[in-house]
Structure 1
Amino acid sequence: MSEGFPHLIDELVRAAAVEDRAFSDLLPRAMHESQGLSPAELTAVLPRMAEGVAQAPPNLGCWLAIMAGAWVERGASPEPAGLAVVEAATRVAAAAHAFATAWKEATGGDPPDPEESGPSQEIVDTVGPRIDGDPVAAMMAWFATPQFGMSAHTMLATSPLVRGAVSDRERRASAFSLLEQHCPAMGWVAGLLRVLDGERLLVLDRASRRGWTVTISGIGDNFQLHTLLGGALVGRPGGLPGDPADPRWISCFTSDDVEPGTPPVVGWWNLVDAHGAWIWNEGVPADIPALNGTRVVVLDPPAYRRSWSPGRRHPLMTATLTVEGQHTAEDLASWWPHIAPPQDPRSQM
């Protein structure tokens, strides 16, 4: 890589930070020149892009974030810019929520679509009296939410290190969730902030009283958890009897695209938590409550036949489920007295 591209990125970041009009010319140049560069060359300039994302106002920083995310999807490392993107997206989400609240108070209706419309003086005049702070900045944050949502989604989905570096994840997830109805990408970000990495689960089979310790990472929902548990335990040595998982299911629920012709997954169990409540496939592993500091999944016979489409909720995120140990009924004798019988799911409604 010549010195020309790093210099161009330096100029682009400087222009974004000071709101120089040259930004509008530099951005397409940087996009074009990046096309022929390798992932390593793009990774080399991402620390400078991270500085720009952190320093620039949201209406310009969002385009730096989008370009950084596109480079990551081409193979650049997410770590140099990932945390900066998530931090900026968090600030934007807070300002955007204030904007949406002010708009609702002023008009009684939904705010303008952040992807189908754009900033205007009329919008500033509408929310200005109800915004505690700069109404222009709040408006600009609102219209930057799609770009920051997409970029933060890419950074979080592609790197467990970025996910692990984000502090106060539940609070941030709640903040992003508030914007999901207006910007779906923010909902995806909220979901990724709740992903568990390196989390140990205790899996108990009620019928045999046996169990397994498994470690999970990068699992986006309980459809995925259920499928990977089936792949790890059913028809495997030291596991459980039954029809083993189709290898194509395991492939597409860990790292690969869905192979054409892959049939729907057929579930093996009702998943139940230690308190007897059903673990719904639509939920996420982070919803599973802990018992004595460990999340517990109890395997019960299925109440009815369940099937679901193969494929990961977050296609950019790879997943693992590793069996770390097997436990006999005798090993688990002290656990079973604390495991509740399954509840009627209607009692959970």
Structure 2
Amino acid sequence: MSAAFQRACDELVQAAMVEDQAFSDLLPQLMQASETASPAEKTAAMPRLAEGLAEAPPNLGGWLAVIGGSWIEHGAEIGPFGDALVERLIMVTAAALAFGNAWQEATGGKPPDMEDDRPSQQAVDTVGPKLQDGAVSAMMSWFALPQFAMSACTVLSRSPRVRSGLTDRDFHVFAAGQAAEHLPQMGFVRDLLRVLDGERLLVLDRRTRQGWTVTIGGIGDNFQLHTLLAGALVGRPGGLPGKPPAPEIISCFLDAETPPDRPIVSSPWNLVDANGEWIYNEGVPADIPAVNGTRVVVLDPPSYERTFPAGRRFPMMPATLTVDGMHLAEDLDGWWSHITDPK
């Protein structure tokens, strides 16, 4: 790491941690230095940025979050920054929701706009009777949440380790969903928190009664699941007859950039769950119910021609779908007793 870049990073982080007024002057200096720093230099600075993120107040930590997210998008490795960011995002989200709830209780109206309005003493005074000593921190969290959400979308898109390492996932998904009522980008955070990694699915074909175990990761919606299943099972040895999607189509749903003129995908199936309910493409794999601990996808003939444009919902998130094994019809007799006809 160059001495100038290291010094710019250290000075900004230190100013954030002690709430030094010099922060506003140091921030553009680090941003300018970042333009010429290599990905290796940024990676080396990530632990220091993570320290600042953990200790700085939300209004300054939010800027550190934005810087880290930008570095990641330009090739830096996530490292400890990812864990620090998600931990701080959880705290900031909780405090922001406390501010929003206190504001609505005090005024009966909508809280200030996170992105268009600004912190103020009036805001502190409004929520002060409810939040007492936590009023200032809650207000800062409210207005800093957009910065944390922006960085979290980058980190969660890029890191299966961070996604899968989160504890109390359902609670954090719920909190992100509540925050999305005030900040739409938190809806993306919520959905990234629901992404399954290393999840095994049982895929059953109702017509042939055969099946496959597949493992998925980084899949953002069921459009993506639908297409990757077709690429893995149609026209392949041990798979189903038909013509699979073209390799360039599959690449768009895995990790390649989607061309501006997005190719159109034609669906070979209806996807149905074990209860006979349609698995809608607009949903996510985490919506699919489990049978005896395993999520089950049933392939049925399409009831109408279904087409959609190629591409991933989260372009920065690479996906995987691997076929672990094929199951013959006679091996699946015990499973079909748990499978309901389509509704």
What interval of TM-score do these two structures reach, taking the shorter chain for normalisation? over 0.9
Question: 2: distance between equivalents of 1:12 and 1:118?
Answer: 23
Which residue of structure 1 aligns with residue 56 of structure 2?
A: 56
Which residue of structure 2 aligns with residue 302 of structure 1?
A: 302
Map of 1:120-269 to 2, 5 A cutoff? 120-131=120-131, 133-269=133-269
Q: Could you say what secondary structure the match of 1:245 adopts?
A: coil
Question: Deviations 1:63-120 (Å, cap 9, x if unpaired)?
Answer: 0010000000001011220010111111110011111111222222221111111101
- Unaligned 5+ segments in structure 2 are none
Q: Does structure 1 residue 93 correspond to structure 2 residue 93?
A: yes
Question: 2: distance between equivalents of 1:46 and 1:270?
Answer: 45
Which residue of structure 2 aligns with residue 119 of structure 1?
A: 119
Map of 1:66-81 to 2, 5 A cutoff? 66-81=66-81
Which residue of structure 2 aligns with residue 321 of structure 1?
A: 321
Q: Could you say what secondary structure the match of 1:131 adopts?
A: helix
Question: 1: distance between equivalents of 2:329 and 2:78?
Answer: 44
2:262–2:311 contact (8 Å) kept in structure 1: no
The Cα shift of 1:132 comes to 5.4
Question: 2: distance between equivalents of 1:267 and 1:131?
Answer: 52
The Cα shift of 1:338 comes to 1.5
- Unaligned 5+ segments in structure 1 are 344-349
Question: Deviations 1:180-199 (Å, cap 9, x if unpaired)?
Answer: 12212211111111111111
Taking only the aligned residue pairs, the percentage that are identical comes to 62
Question: 2: distance between equivalents of 1:212 and 1:175?
Answer: 35
The Cα shift of 1:252 comes to 1.0
Q: Could you say what secondary structure the match of 2:77 adopts?
A: coil
The Cα shift of 1:282 comes to 1.1
Question: 1: distance between equivalents of 2:13 and 2:165?
Answer: 24
Question: 1: distance between equivalents of 2:136 and 2:105?
Answer: 17
The Cα shift of 1:24 comes to 1.0
After TM superposition, the score normalised by the length of structure 1 is 0.95
Question: 1: distance between equivalents of 2:302 and 2:234?
Answer: 14
Which residue of structure 2 aligns with residue 330 of structure 1?
A: 330
Question: 2: distance between equivalents of 1:132 and 1:96?
Answer: 15
Q: Could you say what secondary structure the match of 2:151 adopts?
A: helix
Question: 2: distance between equivalents of 1:264 and 1:113?
Answer: 38
Map of 1:331-346 to 2, 5 A cutoff? 331-343=331-343
AA aligned opposite 2:319: A
AA aligned opposite 2:321: L
The Cα shift of 1:133 comes to 4.3
Map of 1:263-278 to 2, 5 A cutoff? 263-278=263-278
1:52–1:61 contact (8 Å) kept in structure 2: yes
Q: Could you say what secondary structure the match of 2:191 adopts?
A: helix
Question: Deviations 1:267-326 (Å, cap 9, x if unpaired)?
Answer: 111111112221111111111111111111001112222222221111110001111111
Deviation >3 Å, runs of 4+? none
Q: Could you say what secondary structure the match of 1:94 adopts?
A: helix
2:5–2:37 contact (8 Å) kept in structure 1: no
Q: Could you say what secondary structure the match of 2:342 adopts?
A: coil
AA aligned opposite 1:94: A
RMSD value, Cα: 1.3
2:8–2:33 contact (8 Å) kept in structure 1: no
2:118–2:143 contact (8 Å) kept in structure 1: yes
Which residue of structure 2 aligns with residue 347 of structure 1?
A: none
2:54–2:88 contact (8 Å) kept in structure 1: yes
After TM superposition, the score normalised by the length of structure 2 is 0.97
AA aligned opposite 1:220: G
Which residue of structure 1 aligns with residue 46 of structure 2?
A: 46
Question: 1: distance between equivalents of 2:216 and 2:277?
Answer: 21
Q: Could you say what secondary structure the match of 1:239 adopts?
A: coil
AA aligned opposite 1:338: H
Q: Could you say what secondary structure the match of 2:198 adopts?
A: strand
The Cα shift of 1:123 comes to 1.5
Question: 2: distance between equivalents of 1:118 and 1:306?
Answer: 46
AA aligned opposite 1:205: D
Question: 2: distance between equivalents of 1:27 and 1:322?
Answer: 44
